[in-house]
Structure 1
Amino acid sequence: MTSTQIDHIVLLVPTPFFENPPAWLTSNFTITPGGYHNGQASRNKLIIFADGTYLELFNWYDTPPPLDDENLPMRFWGPKKAGLIDFALTSTTVPAEECIGAVNQRLSEDPDYDAGLGVKFQEPVAGSRKRADGIEVKWKVTRPVFRDGQKTPSATLFSGGRIDVPFFCHDVTQRAFRVAADDPTKTTHPCGAIGIAACEILVPQDRLAEYLTLYSKILGCKPAANADDADGKSFIFGVGAPQGGGSPKVVVREARTKKDVQRMQERGIGFSDLGIATSEDVAYGKRPCGPEGIQSTIWLGQVL
């Protein structure tokens, strides 16, 4: 059993979207004020779920920080296009340094190491933001450090920077300061959303085995074949949620269609779709929030 949990999802949105969220979002979800991040021109709002996870609406209201500013982990999101750009893991029972030490140990072990993909994790870096009520929220973020490994995919598939694995986020102040998951006024949503169902990871056809090895070491658990995939080209990792009760999954799947390949070429290898579990029945088991754009990558219902 892994001690790793999904912490939150990062949805990069432009300023008009942030200041006046579209109807497809407000008709489905309750949006909670976030705050301004210290040290850089970014801010957020949150969509909080009862399982302790949340969807972060992240916005650059001015110029993003330079990529060489190592004290600002969010700088990697500066070149990214609007949409799903990243997600965070956590371990609520293990401190950041111990958690990352264990992950890096697994990535350095024989015989697979990091599967030749050139991935390890840096030391945790402090982060914070001030809420609208003046409370300062503090955490530690641990981002992956990339290098060119023997099996690292071509740079043409991750234009805008590599984000083909998630980062970690551990609380320093009380988790309730950052995620008000015990407040039903914030976690009750018009669509019946109750938590994260799945984060889908899109990888090149010739690197599926390597990414399964890599994610096994990062998550601390083994994958299972996706029973709903007759071609056997997607695999499921069962992870936890901070509040328990939910059963989020990380799904690593092979890019097999022209649309999949185009998506990787435009946005990079990695996080492509988000499934949100609901308490309401959904026709055909799942439905996207909209027909195109950002809303088409966010699904409601039983996604697996």
Structure 2
Amino acid sequence: MSVPSTKILDHIVHLTPPGSLEATSAQWRELGFKVIPGGKHAGGFTANALVILQDGAYIELIYFTHPLSYYPPGSPERKARETHYWASKAPGWIDFAFLGTSPTLSEVINERAEREGSGVKYLSEQEGGRERPDGKVLKWLITAPAPEDARGRWPFFCGDVSPREWRVPVDPPSNAEHPCKALGLAHVRLLAEEQGFSILSNQVTSIIGARPIESSASEAKWVLDSPNISSSPPYLILSKAKTEVELDYLRTGGAGIYEVGFLVPQGSGRHGSAETPFGRIVWVEEYSLSSE
């Protein structure tokens, strides 16, 4: 029996303050991205909009529908909002998902991690979903890290029960056509503390199921797959913090996603970095990746 893939980059989660979806969508449009409606998640605590890319991956612009103070103290809703796995996250890049390719993915990862002694553990699959503005109800299975504080350092997995194209509407093709010319995801870059780098590197290797293609004392790089076939695959990069800005990022939020790279065509005129209201992005020309 073939082992299901555990390295298909599905989407990256970008959090903004409660009730800020319209302003956030406008800010992403100013950066040159097309933003389409998403919907409200099961439970009603969060909702989203999407930036879909031609490689089949996407950016999830998520926010809490109400601040904590909206829910009466002591109520079940207040407790659920307080204990939500993203409740303590600061706005910005907070999490990332790989595509779930099996309803027993947690068993695959946990067995591999036990053999390798990496300490990785994932919970059994749990149901999730979202209702789109057009009334279509999406269903999926979430495979999440067992320690909640691993969210953002380890990916979670999202496996579609309803058709994936309902969750990621790539039709019409114009949904994935952006004024900034972004084609897909070039990389996700995680930052780690000095003392936690080697541990996290081993854990990521267990989760992905492959060793890094490049590795040094301060950085490791894994090649991932895209939901759609792409000539330039995305990478997961784990780095030790070097600059004062990066060190401050770690002091504020701990290890996790620091930057996201977007693949653009050669000669697009996009280069260097840019800032969302709460996160760092980098433009990566296509030839730079294909020549590696």
TM-score by length of 1: 0.81
Matches within 5 A, 1:173-188: 173-188=162-177
Tell me which residue corresponds to 2:220.
Answer: 235
| Structure 1 stretches of 4+ moved >4 Å | 63-69
Q: Does residue 105 in structure 1 map to residue 119 in structure 2?
A: no
- How far apart, in 1, do the equivalents of 2:218 and 2:19 lie? 38
CA offsets 1:75-125 (integer angstroms, 9 cap, x no match): 21111111000000114xx3131x22111111111xx412xxx53100011
Residue 22 of structure 2 aligns with an amino acid whose one-letter code is: E
- Picking from 53, 60, 66, the partner of 2:57 is 53
- How far apart, in 2, do the equivalents of 1:67 and 1:168 lie? 27
Contact 1:107 1:217 (8 Å CA) reproduced: yes
Tell me which residue corresponds to 1:83.
Answer: 92
- How far apart, in 1, do the equivalents of 2:266 and 2:166 lie? 29
Residue 132 of structure 1 aligns with an amino acid whose one-letter code is: P
Does 21-30 or 58-67 show the bigger shift? 58-67
Consecutive unaligned residues in structure 1, runs of 5 or more = 148-157
Contact 1:196 1:277 (8 Å CA) reproduced: yes
Tell me which residue corresponds to 2:196.
Answer: 207
- How far apart, in 2, do the equivalents of 1:67 and 1:275 lie? 36
CA offsets 1:234-291 (integer angstroms, 9 cap, x no match): 11100101112140110011123332221111112111111111125356x832223x
How many corresponding residue pairs?
Answer: 274
Contact 1:164 1:268 (8 Å CA) reproduced: no
Q: Partner of 1:207: helix, strand, or coil?
A: helix
- State the Cα RMSD in Å: 2.7
- How far apart, in 1, do the equivalents of 2:186 and 2:257 lie? 14
Tell me which residue corresponds to 2:143.
Answer: 142
Residue 21 of structure 2 aligns with an amino acid whose one-letter code is: F
Post-superposition shift, 1:42? 1.0
Post-superposition shift, 1:204? 1.2
Consecutive unaligned residues in structure 2, runs of 5 or more = 69-75
Matches within 5 A, 1:127-138: 127-138=128-139
Tell me which residue corresponds to 1:40.
Answer: 44
Tell me which residue corresponds to 1:258.
Answer: 244
Q: Partner of 1:198: helix, strand, or coil?
A: strand
Contact 1:162 1:269 (8 Å CA) reproduced: no
